[in-house]
Structure 1
Amino acid sequence: MTTEEKVESAAPVPTYEDLREKIIYQVEHYFGDFNLPKDKFLLSKTQENEGWIDLDVLLTFNRLRSLTTDREMISKAVLSSDSGLIEVSEDRTKLRRNPERPLPEAFKQQFLDKTVYVKGFPKDTPLDDLIEFFKQFEAGCVKMRRYSYNREFKGSVFVLLPSVEAAQKLRKAEGLKYKDNELILLMAKEYSDKKEAEKGATKKSARKANDNDDKNDLNDLAKFEETLAKMDKKPGVFMILTDIKKEYEIDFKQIKEFFNATANKVAFVDIDAEQGRAVLRFSEANGAKNAAAELATDGKIIIKEKELPIEVLEGEAETEQYKKQAQIKMARFENERAHRKRAGQHRHEGYRGKGGKRPARGDRRNGGDGPAEKRTKVE
């Protein structure tokens, strides 16, 4: 291979525009409300030198260093952020968290002030309907509250809003109804105080279960914010297909194969068979736009000789879809957690169900480990 051929085959060096958003995300993650309180090393550094931390210190962190070791590029990217979270020193060699943005005193305070408890929904209400309902309040996350023992919906939710002001606006929405049901609205702090007042009249075991459920719900709101922040939010990647009738027998594999046969690769397909609707997320930025321009005629594509209307999400619709994707990830996490909990209960109960007895030691018929000669024939 010649020198020229080696140069041509080398991977392109990422430019500032390629890395800017990733640098901002990573540095703001380090100094953010979720990470900084738990990072003992970085937190101790913020107590020195009026909070200024040398870029050389930050470049000992693997994730930032894997993006770039160019100090000027890092400071330039952080300066371009409009979040106001981080300040850059005049000589561009140090960063610090904005002194006017102090860390929340505690985990609960960070989320309680932006969270509203809402009760009064029918027990069969699907999550999609709840998300759609709270769009009018610009909700970030809607957390369905479930009973820990059977995972059934309690009819109440925690709603995480983008700001304290937005949360208070929802709290003051008097007479708010879902269909014909009037809803009960409380700030999460009000709800927490109310539960504390009821503790004296509640059995200890039930109280403990309820307290754990509430703690898990608030932890999930934190997990949602972290999940949403970490998502690689590329523009123009969501496409909606509609009018997918059941008799068409079009599944997610066929949709994915249709697009992957072109240069427009699909990373995710979610089909709602009842609504005849599919959500697609493309791998590359503007993948949905490019696919629509290349494959659609009069706003429709043809799969298995069937015309399907399409819509490429942009602006607020795209933002809402990213929130929904984060909630899908959170729901998967919640289901896995419930599964692990049930598996642990089964192990504790000897796989015989609640109230079942463990095999007696020495009884080989029931799975014990006694000597073989003690086995008896079972008719």
Structure 2
Amino acid sequence: MVAKQLDEETVKKVIRQVEFYFSDSNLPRDNFLKNTITESEDGMVSLALICSFSRMRGHLGLGDAKAEDVPEDTVEAVAETLKNSTTLKISEDGKKVGRTTELPKEEVAIEQLDSRTIAASPIEYDVKLEEVESFFGQSAKVNSVRLPRHVGDKRVFCGTALVEFSCEEDATKILTQSLTFRGAELALKPKKEFDEQRAKEEEAESTRRNMLQNRKNSPQEEEYPKGLIVAFKLKSTTSEDPSVEKGNEVKLETEGKPDSMELGTEDKKESSPENEEKTETKKLSADMYKDNKDVVLREDLKSVFQKFGTVKYIDFKMGEESGYIRFEEAEGSQKARAAAVLAEEGGLIVKNYVAILDTVTGEAEKEYWNMLRGQEKFRGNNKGNWSRGGGKNNRGGRQFNGKNNRSRDNNNSGNRPNKFHKVAAA
């Protein structure tokens, strides 16, 4: 069988490439190849494995072939080619390759390598190794060129080329020159300085990745503030039914209303054509009830709870039996709960009622904040058309399905609010 022949250009590329693999320039930092040599009994490496390396596959036209797929005639042709190298040796069976000299100690080899290597930038992302080698080869003999990957994205070139010369003197000489590559003036520095900057960038990238991972692994409850909310339920301290005001048999429409409402006829029916007399409707403000001990207003709640800390918001409608107090700091809610527990009445006195407090934690707290943020988002998407409740006659505020949720009767007809007591507290 006639041995496969490699053309002259391929021969040059193969010799140069394999010499580089086993050189003092590459071997000290090539852990895979270095370990392969160490594990072998004779310090040599399979030629089929060498032929399966990326750049060798390109030179030999092997596509994506693995070591076991490299044809025997290709291995034989490469073996014959490498016999012309002065730094490599071929095994007797022609299937292995190795160095002719012993590799220096690793720390010595790396120190020597760094001393004759310079870093050059900026180099455009689409540059080829051969182009950089040819450019610097005009000034001195180049042993190798490396194009390190970007710290944050290993898929792309970082923009700095590492050029190794044959000796330290050549590298030192290059550093003093003013060179322009592809129209850009190059910044040249020793490899040691590049390594120091690279180490800082890698540390920063590692910190950034750790922060992102920690955020990803953090429990969801960290996404909202804790301990600001306290729930309350009003309990009457009197046995008198406050549903009817003394001297006034008119019931107030208060359920689901803010601290102002309408007072009028029970059903607000339109007058018939024959009856031209119109029903008179008067606006009643919260001021009318500020001295009424049977009607609890937001201001009444605020005057009680602000003793424990800054009250950020009071989620309560006049006529309802429960609500929420949101403090600016968690310390305020803690003090309020502690005071309620210690009180003889079992809660905080608000006019003729005792406000029984309970904590809002866990899923209930999370649901409250999700509800609140959802409404804020809705408000932002409906500027000019947003109201606290459903419509003109349905002013129900924030609804919450967590612990101590306020109850509402939604069986209204004609979108009219229910007729309800002045204060519906039990």
Q: TM-score, normalised by structure 2?
A: 0.32
| Larger Cα-atom Rg | 2
Q: Whose RCO is larger (CA < 8 A, sep 6+)?
A: 2
Q: TM-score, normalised by structure 1?
A: 0.35
* Bigger fraction of residues in helix: 1
